[in-house]
Amino acid sequence: MTAGPTLHYSHANVYSCWLLSIVVYAGVCLFWGRLTNGQFLVLNLLELFHPNQWHLGQVVTEPLSIYEYPWHIAILGTLMGILAAAPLLTAQLMSFRFSIPMIVLAVFLARLPMLGAFLVLSCIAVACRPLRFRSRIISLALCMAGPMIYWAAFGGIRSSDPIRWGISYTPWIYAWLIAMLIAGVVIAIGHYTRYRPGLVWLITLAAAAAAYLTFEKTIGFDELDFQMYVAGHNPEEQAEFHDHSLTKYLDRILADEMRYSYFAGYFYPSDKIDLRKKLREEIENLLYYNRWPQWFVGDLPEKLRYQSKRSELLAQYNYFLEKRPTSRRVPIALYFKAMLNELTPDARYFGQTEILHFYQDYPFYENLHIWQDLLVRFPDSPEALEARWRLAVHMAGQGRFKEAQDLCGVALTLLEKEMPSFSEPAIAAGSLTTAFGRPIQTAMTRYKLQDLRTRLLMLMELISPANQGGSEAERQRLARFVLLNPYGIQYARQIEDLLAGASAEDPLRDNLLAARARLIGDWQMRAAALREVWEKYPDRDGGIQALYELGALRLQQWKEMKAEAAKAELLAEARSLLNRLIQDYPQSPYAESARRLLAPLANL
């Protein structure tokens, strides 16, 4: 290796321009880190040796996806082009040792250790005598092979779609073009200025400024933080809040003789069947309070640690809300935060099935301030429609039936206006456009809006004047019933208390009887009780609800029945019940739910 042409000038000037190029390069590395890690500077150096840091394809889709933000191709490509070209130009025009600080910055600030390894080889090659004094641009093009091998080997995503896989390499193709453009401009100008110092930092600064301005104009840090802390953390998509069977974990505990002897030696039954029942009851009782038994905590797999996942997600939502309070994405963050807090284990369902299941269709009082904040600050957002229903439930629970009816009416009007925007035209399969899509615009979906519409209509029907009665006691009873949590530990007793105070002529009696029937564990007894309520109150909303629940119960039995003859009989009965509901009560909110249940059965 020998000294390059730039080192022939005044050393003070050379070193000053070299330091400026280092500063510009450090800024590019920090910007790259902000785009790919969410932070300008990450101090955890141990992560550099994790295999995830070697693979470049992940930055194509996380946190910003080039398939949702096509301009991100140009931004990533420009920055990567600078990261590749600047050390090579420095090594060629000065010396290899002057490129070492840039390589170190690429490794530790940009967190690209594999790129650093390939840059070492390329910078040594471009600084060696056989290549230094030949055509400089050809020398740079040849030595660009190092970064190109890195991009080719580690730059693609793992996808079964060949179109998406091919598009994942476009940032690195763009990076090669930018790197060669930077090198060409520097070499071309340097040819006429005899490679005076200052070219590298000026050209790379111009390219970095172009990348930054493009980012601010087309995407912005608000959107980056939204994708980093909110969009990819929808609580409904987290594995911890999906259904999980605990049967195998209970089997494992009972099969462990040491654990079995521990339980049998204290206050637990010695018989394994009774012990299993006792353990299941203990889990059920503690799930009402969002806790696990101490004897189960040690064996708890990661996917069942929903409490810690909830804390993690809340911290991310709060960070975004505090950092970006004026972002247009705040409604989605507030919606996710509120819905995450609403997610609660269905302890009764676990006791019946040994399956951990979460519900979120009951509005808890503790979360009202979030829904209120969402509605007041963003009344026109689709997410505010959900807030209106949850606030209306608590208004009705306070006996403010007229206000609750009005709020539901406003929500229905706005919902009907929103619904058409959620039906998008289908794109032909195999088209290039299938690889690209729009970023999430709202947390609401067509299915969610349909479900919300049903809940709004059900609430309006429940608190209608027909159910309010003529006395204050009947109105208070209705208000209490509206606020009952059907998944709560005291729900059965609360229903019995309301029934005890309701006369035979009470307008709410049919609803109370339907609610009591739904709690019956045995399917046949539940079906008989629901049929009795329907036949006794065929024209009341409680009777119609019982008819719908009976049809849904028969469908559930059909799905789990093994005998073919019995399956056919259950399916026929379910269809008959649901079709009768649609035919006899077309204006009922349960009619739309019945249609949705019947839709998948059309071809059976």
| Domain end point (choices 414, 435, 465) | 414
Q: Is the pTM of this model over 0.95?
A: no
| pLDDT reported for residue 131 | 64
Same-domain check for residues 536 and 389? no
Please, which residues bridge with residue 355 across strands? 245
| pLDDT reported for residue 451 | 93
| pLDDT reported for residue 161 | 79
Please, which residues bridge with residue 244 across strands? 356
In angstroms, the CA 146 to CA 122 distance is 6
pLDDT (average), residues 364-368 = 96
Same-domain check for residues 214 and 320? no
The answer on pLDDT for 356 being more than 90 is yes
In a domain, 503, yes or no: no
pLDDT (average), residues 318-322 = 96
Nearest Cα to Cα of residue 53 among 104, 119, 115: 115
Nearest Cα to Cα of residue 87 among 200, 210, 177: 200
| pLDDT reported for residue 425 | 47
Least confident of 37-46, 392-401, 513-522, 590-599: 37-46
Same-domain check for residues 129 and 96? yes
- Band (368; pLDDT cuts 50, 70, 90): very high
| Domain end point (choices 372, 394, 414) | 414
Helices (H), 219-367: 221-229, 247-255, 257-264, 272-287, 294-297, 306-323, 330-342, 347-353
Nearest Cα to Cα of residue 486 among 514, 507, 506: 514
What is the tens place of the pLDDT at every residue in 186-211?
988 887 777 777 889 999 999 999 99
* Number of domains within the chain: 3
DSSP structure string for 188-215: HHHHHHTS-TTHHHHHHHHHHHHHHHHH
- Band (427; pLDDT cuts 50, 70, 90): very low
In a domain, 502, yes or no: no
**Do residues 91 and 126 make contact, with C-beta atoms less than 8 angstroms apart?**
yes
pLDDT (average), residues 71-84 = 96
Same-domain check for residues 200 and 242? no
Highest mean pLDDT among 59-63, 128-132, 360-364, 558-562: 360-364
**Do residues 48 and 107 make contact, with C-beta atoms less than 8 angstroms apart?**
yes
pLDDT (average), residues 475-487 = 95
Domain with 368, as residue range(s), is 235-414
Q: Cβ neighbours of residue 207 under 8 Å, at least 6 residues apart?
A: 78, 81, 82, 178, 182
The answer on pLDDT for 163 being more than 50 is yes
| Domain end point (choices 389, 414, 439) | 414
The answer on pLDDT for 462 being more than 90 is yes
The answer on pLDDT for 426 being more than 50 is no
Residue 387, CB-side half-sphere exposure with 13 Å CA sphere:
26
In a domain, 486, yes or no: no
The answer on pLDDT for 554 being more than 60 is yes
Same-domain check for residues 144 and 101? yes
In angstroms, the CA 484 to CA 381 distance is 28
Q: How far is CA 384 from the centre of its chain?
A: 19
Same-domain check for residues 80 and 203? yes
pLDDT (average), residues 420-448 = 74
31 vs 566, residue with greater confidence? 31
Q: Measured between alpha carbons, how far is residue 145 from residues 149, 151, 408 in Å?
A: 6, 10, 64
The answer on pLDDT for 584 being more than 90 is yes
Same-domain check for residues 267 and 366? yes
In a domain, 421, yes or no: no
Same-domain check for residues 514 and 559? yes
In a domain, 447, yes or no: no
Same-domain check for residues 36 and 150? yes
Same-domain check for residues 180 and 252? no
| pLDDT reported for residue 465 | 93
pLDDT (average), residues 89-103 = 90
| pLDDT reported for residue 48 | 67
The answer on pLDDT for 292 being more than 70 is yes
What is the average pLDDT score of the chain? 90
In a domain, 550, yes or no: yes
pLDDT (average), residues 128-132 = 68
pLDDT (average), residues 288-314 = 92
The answer on pLDDT for 431 being more than 60 is no
In a domain, 444, yes or no: no
Same-domain check for residues 159 and 288? no
The answer on pLDDT for 276 being more than 80 is yes
Q: Express as a percent the part of the chain with pLDDT over 90.
A: 68
Same-domain check for residues 128 and 204? yes
In a domain, 431, yes or no: no
Q: What is the DSSP letter of 538?
A: T
- Band (429; pLDDT cuts 50, 70, 90): very low
3-state secondary structure of 599: helix
| pLDDT reported for residue 117 | 92
Q: Express as a percent the part of the chain with pLDDT over 70.
A: 93
